[in-house]
């Protein structure tokens, strides 16, 4: 693409002169719009007198960002009232005050904390606070451009460039001075810092040398495109940014922050220069639907709301407004992302630019109810209606905002997060690293009360977890998670097999082989209460119930331990730890977790056979036999794992036989099997093992 266009008339960063003129006319005849305008500018007189944040206030705290976030915060407050009042009413007092704000801020020594100056081996010259302030200064400059004299336009443009744009792009994008690489900083910071500084560059570009602007924008577009297509780096334990379905590994919240910032820059870039082919061609396929695949529609305060799975440093109540709204603006939106965008209000600036998000029509109904992601996620639900039942597993990569949680799972039911992720907290709290990022804050397996190595949060996961097998049927979903890699210092096998049956019953089969004899612990995090009385384990959360039954071994030692709630590190929150007290190398754990157990009379019976352990589950006319084949646990070399399970000859790792006693049907679900035979009849014959279901008799 070219970066050479005729100078446009300011304002042009996020809206045009025509947009302003149109809104000025609108509030003359639209009382509701006038009320919104009055509310937005109600604090203008107060903001005209608000003292500017001082250099000492910004730089006074010895921490990562110090207090430099105050620059952006004050700029936003004043811009939203004074900038609006100037544009609509022409109030020169407001423009003058905003000019003084830019002058004051560009007089400061820097817009980032001393912690970055002192970094080794290289000093940094930008961070999230400095680039947010840079974009805010560019936005204000664009708004008050007509108020400035030619000399002020030059001087303020140069000031914003010197204090914000050049330091940021010099650190992140420009080949002459760049200190960052995608292999070290290729998470959300890359997209945010480059995109925000580049929005400011677009705002002041008419008052900078044309060759400088062209050079910068070319490398900005390359840097952002390579972020979108980054394939990972085995040497530095880095995974790809986006998987083949468009899922960002670092959690929904940081997808919103990073990708949303990038799309905002794309929108501004294309307003000036037309189609940005470099970035457009790099956008991951499925980007918007991947985010919505992690959504959980629910009714909240009488309205439809989209919550999101909070694996890693995300929130169940994550706001994806930036990503959703910028997807709409750039035209890469899908029906699902429009459905989310329609639940957010339209602020007055987007109204001026002609957007009305609540008026959007969208739906998530076309998305698959069950989806698997190469980045290590599996999500299944009984439907897309609000307050449905959702079950999800994570077994993937750990680094930065992605936690040590391979093999964890969550369960939402009746609009509530029931079995939960441990969440996160302030990054400055010692508990962020010591607890929230660690295995203990998730529903995982521990070996001798030990989990993944702490260093992986910084060094990345050399051997990440993965979803290695899956099967979707009308009445069950099978998910096989390999959590061995992050626990490779403790064991050579850690396979978690999830049979999620009829969206109400989880059969969890854990297969562990330790390097040294040790006990194995299963941790389970929940909302509500856990009752351990009468030798039973039951859970209650408001109007929902669940029961946990240990089948193998029949008795495990339960213990209520205490962690911390999501974003409340100063409070305690209980979680359950179940310990298999056998000090052995090989462990097989079989548990069932049943939702609303009082709604159905389910009976369980443990089964034993030669080199096999099983479970019979009966409710109504349905009977299921679920077998684990000990001969298929990986300990043999040249002999196959043939066994007789539930009357079938097979080499399956797991076999589930489902019988409908009313219809007289029988189905066999084989996990990792090459053959299935019964009474001389062959039902499955493959030379390499596969996972499949077969109707064996009618």
Q: What is the CATH number of the domain that holds 109?
A: 1.50.10.100
> Could you give the CA distance from residue 217 to residue 210 in angstroms, rounded to a whole number?
11
State the angle between helix axes of 69-78 and 92-106 in degrees (0 to 180), rounded to the nearest 10: 170
Residue 157 lies in a domain: yes
Secondary structure of residue 282 in the 3-state scheme: coil
Residue 335 lies in a domain: no
Residue 65 lies in a domain: yes
Beta bridge partners, 546, equal: 539, 595
pLDDT tens digits for range 17-41: 999 999 999 999 999 999 999 999 9
Of 167, 114, 104, the residue nearest 137 (C-alpha): 104
Q: What are phi and psi of 78, to 5 degrees?
A: -70, -35
Specify whether 432 is located in the same domain as 570: yes
- Of 564, 596, 628, the residue that ends a domain is 596
60 pLDDT above the threshold of 60: yes
pLDDT tens digits for range 87-110: 999 999 999 999 999 999 999 999
Centre a 10 Å sphere on the Cβ of residue 9 and count the other Cβ atoms it contains: 10
User: How much is the pLDDT for 600?
Assistant: 87
Specify whether 493 is located in the same domain as 558: yes
Q: How many domains does the chain have?
A: 3
Least confident interval from 334-343, 433-442, 575-584, 634-643: 634-643
Specify whether 571 is located in the same domain as 640: no
472 pLDDT above the threshold of 80: yes
User: How much is the pLDDT for 114?
Assistant: 92
Specify whether 570 is located in the same domain as 651: no
290 pLDDT above the threshold of 60: yes
Tell me the percentage of the chain whose pLDDT exceeds 90.
Answer: 90
CATH number at residue 420: 2.70.98.70
First to last CA, the chain: 64
Instruction: Look at the block and give the residue holding tokens 């002169």.
Output: 17
Specify whether 475 is located in the same domain as 619: no
User: How much is the pLDDT for 661?
Assistant: 80
Query: Dihedral angle at the C-alpha atoms of 596, 602, 603, 605, nearest 10 degrees?
Result: -70
Specify whether 493 is located in the same domain as 605: no
pLDDT band at 400 (very low <50, low <70, confident <90, very high): confident
Specify whether 585 is located in the same domain as 621: no
- Of 596, 627, 658, the residue that ends a domain is 596
- Of 596, 616, 633, the residue that ends a domain is 596
Secondary structure of residue 52 in the 3-state scheme: coil
Specify whether 62 is located in the same domain as 97: yes
For the record, the structure tokens of 476 come out as: 């069950």
Q: Contact, 658 vs 622, CB < 8 A?
A: yes
58 pLDDT above the threshold of 70: yes
Specify whether 590 is located in the same domain as 617: no
Residue 192 lies in a domain: no
State the angle between helix axes of 252-273 and 321-330 in degrees (0 to 180), rounded to the nearest 10: 30
Residue 1 lies in a domain: no
> Could you give the CA distance from residue 155 to residue 162 in angstroms, rounded to a whole number?
10
500 pLDDT above the threshold of 70: yes
pLDDT band at 407 (very low <50, low <70, confident <90, very high): very high
More confident residue, 6 or 181: 181
Specify whether 592 is located in the same domain as 609: no
1 pLDDT above the threshold of 90: no
Residues across the chain? 698
- Quick one: average pLDDT of 261-284? 97
> Could you give the CA distance from residue 204 to residue 221 in angstroms, rounded to a whole number?
18
Specify whether 605 is located in the same domain as 568: no
Least confident interval from 172-181, 202-211, 333-342, 529-538: 529-538
- Domain of residue 550 covers 409-456+467-596
pLDDT band at 698 (very low <50, low <70, confident <90, very high): low
Instruction: Look at the block and give the residue holding tokens 């900078």.
Output: 208
- Quick one: average pLDDT of 350-356? 96
Report pTM: 0.96
pLDDT band at 632 (very low <50, low <70, confident <90, very high): very high
Instruction: Look at the block and give the residue holding tokens 């997808």.
Output: 255
Residue 428 lies in a domain: yes
What Cα–Cα distance (Å) separates residue 245 from each residue in 332, 362, 634?
15, 20, 32
pLDDT band at 563 (very low <50, low <70, confident <90, very high): very high
> Could you give the CA distance from residue 511 to residue 494 in angstroms, rounded to a whole number?
6
Residue 261 lies in a domain: no
Specify whether 506 is located in the same domain as 608: no
User: How much is the pLDDT for 656?
Assistant: 98
Residue 156 lies in a domain: yes
320 pLDDT above the threshold of 90: yes
pLDDT band at 119 (very low <50, low <70, confident <90, very high): very high
Mean pLDDT of the chain: 95
Secondary structure of residue 130 in the 3-state scheme: helix
């Amino acid at each position: 693409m070219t970066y050479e266009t005729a100078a446009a008339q300011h304002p042009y960063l996020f809206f045009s002169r025509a947009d302003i003129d149109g809104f000025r006319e609108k509030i003359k005849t639209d009382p509701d719009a006038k009320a919104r305008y009055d509310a937005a500018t109600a604090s203008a007189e107060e903001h005209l007198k608000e003292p500017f944040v001082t250099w000492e206030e910004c730089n006074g705290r010895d921490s990562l960002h110090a207090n430099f976030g105050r620059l952006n915060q004050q700029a936003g407050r004043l811009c939203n009232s004074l900038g609006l009042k100037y544009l609509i009413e022409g109030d020169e007092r407001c423009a003058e005050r905003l000019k003084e704000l830019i002058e004051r801020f560009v007089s400061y020594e820097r817009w980032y904390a001393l912690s970055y100056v002192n970094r080794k081996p290289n000093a940094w010259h930008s961070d999230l606070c400095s680039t947010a302030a840079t974009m805010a200064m560019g936005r204000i400059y664009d708004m008050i451009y007509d108020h400035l004299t030619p000399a002020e336009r030059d001087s303020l443009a140069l000031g914003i460039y010197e204090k914000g744009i050049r330091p940021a792009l010099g650190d992140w994008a420009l080949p002459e001075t760049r200190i960052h690489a995608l292999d070290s900083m290729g998470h959300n910071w890359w997209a945010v810092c480059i995109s925000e500084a580049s929005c400011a560059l677009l705002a002041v570009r008419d008052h900078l040398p044309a060759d400088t602007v062209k050079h910068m924008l070319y490398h900005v577009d390359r840097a952002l495109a390579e972020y979108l297509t980054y394939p990972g780096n085995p040497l530095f334990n880095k995974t790809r940014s986006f998987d083949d379905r468009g899922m960002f590994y670092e959690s929904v919240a940081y997808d919103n922050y990073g990708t949303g910032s990038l799309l905002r820059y794309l929108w501004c870039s294309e307003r000036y220069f037309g189609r940005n082919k470099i970035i457009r061609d790099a956008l991951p396929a499925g980007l918007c639907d991947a985010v919505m695949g992690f959504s959980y529609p629910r009714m909240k305060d009488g309205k439809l709301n989209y919550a999101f799975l909070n694996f890693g440093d995300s929130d169940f109540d994550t706001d994806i407004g930036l990503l959703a709204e910028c997807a709409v603006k750039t035209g890469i939106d899908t029906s699902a992302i429009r459905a989310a965008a329609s639940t957010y209000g339209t602020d007055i600036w987007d109204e001026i630019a002609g957007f009305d998000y609540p008026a959007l029509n969208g739906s998530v109904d076309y998305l698959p109810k069950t989806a698997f992601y190469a980045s290590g996620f599996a999500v299944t639900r009984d439907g897309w209606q609000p307050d449905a039942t959702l079950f999800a597993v994570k077994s993937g990569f750990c680094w930065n905002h992605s936690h040590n949680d391979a093999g964890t799972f969550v369960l939402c039911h009746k609009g509530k997060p029931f079995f939960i992720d441990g969440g996160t907290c302030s990054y400055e709290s010692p508990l962020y690293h010591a607890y929230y990022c660690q295995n203990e804050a998730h529903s995982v397996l521990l070996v001798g009360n030990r989990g993944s190595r702490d260093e992986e949060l910084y060094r990345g996961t050399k051997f990440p977890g993965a979803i290695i097998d899956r099967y979707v049927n009308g009445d069950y979903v099978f998910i096989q998670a390999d959590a061995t890699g992050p626990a490779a210092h403790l064991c050579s096998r850690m396979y978690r097999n999830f049979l999620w049956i009829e969206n109400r019953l989880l059969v969890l089969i854990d297969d562990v082989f330790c390097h040294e004899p040790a006990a194995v612990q299963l941790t389970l995090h929940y909302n509500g209460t856990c009752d351990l009385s009468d030798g039973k384990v039951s859970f209650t959360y408001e109007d929902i119930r669940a029961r946990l039954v240990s089948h193998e071994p029949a008795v495990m030692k339960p213990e209520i331990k205490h962690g911390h709630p999501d974003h409340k590190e100063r409070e305690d929150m209980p979680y359950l730890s179940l310990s298999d007290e056998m000090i052995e190398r090989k462990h097989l754990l079989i548990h069932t977790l049943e939702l609303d157990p009082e709604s159905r009379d389910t009976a369980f019976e443990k089964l034993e056979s030669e080199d096999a352990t099983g479970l019979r589950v009966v409710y109504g006319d349905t009977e299921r036999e679920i077998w684990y084949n000990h001969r298929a646990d990986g300990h043999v070399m040249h002999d196959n794992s043939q066994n007789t399970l539930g009357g079938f000859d097979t080499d399956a790792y797991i076999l589930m036989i489902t019988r409908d006693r009313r219809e007289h049907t029988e189905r066999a679900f084989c996990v990792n099997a090459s053959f299935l035979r019964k009474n001389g009849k062959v039902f499955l014959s493959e030379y390499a093992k596969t996972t499949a279901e077969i109707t064996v008799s009618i």
